[in-house]
Amino acid sequence: MYEELKQEIMSAYEKIANEFQDKISGSLITLKVDADTYITRCKRKDNYHLTMDDLIVVNSEGKVLDGDNKEPDFRFFVDLKVMNEFQWMKCMVHSTCKYSYMWAQTGVGLPPLTIAHAMNYWGEIPVTAPILYSRNDDLVEYISEEVLEILRHRNPQKCRSLFARKMDAMIWGEQLDDTIELVGTLETLSENGWHVSTECDGCMEYLPYALVDDIYHLYN
Domains of the chain, with CATH numbers? 3-109+126-175 (3.40.225.10)
Q: How far apart are the first and last CA of the chain?
A: 35
Output the tens digit of pLDDT for each of the chain's 220 residues. 799 999 999 999 999 988 887 765 689 999 999 999 999 999 876 666 788 899 999 999 999 998 888 999 999 999 999 999 999 999 999 999 988 998 888 888 888 877 888 778 888 899 998 766 555 558 888 889 999 999 999 889 988 999 998 889 999 999 999 999 999 999 998 888 877 765 555 556 665 566 556 555 765 6
Are 125 and 99 spatial neighbours (Cβ–Cβ below 8 Å)?
no
| Local structure of 45: helix, strand or coil | coil
Give the full edge-to-edge strand order of the sheet including 55-59: 64-66, 55-59, 37-41, 28-34, 91-95, 168-173, 161-164
How far is Cα 138 from Cα 133, in angstroms, rounded to an integer?
8
Nearest-5° angle of CA 3, CA 9, CA 10? Answer: 85
How far is Cα 171 from Cα 175, in angstroms, rounded to an integer?
11
Position 216 scores a pLDDT of 58
CA 214 to chain CA centroid, Å, is: 25
Residue 163 bridge partners (DSSP): 127, 169
Position 119 scores a pLDDT of 77
Q: Model-level pTM greater than 0.85? A: yes
| Local structure of 192: helix, strand or coil | helix
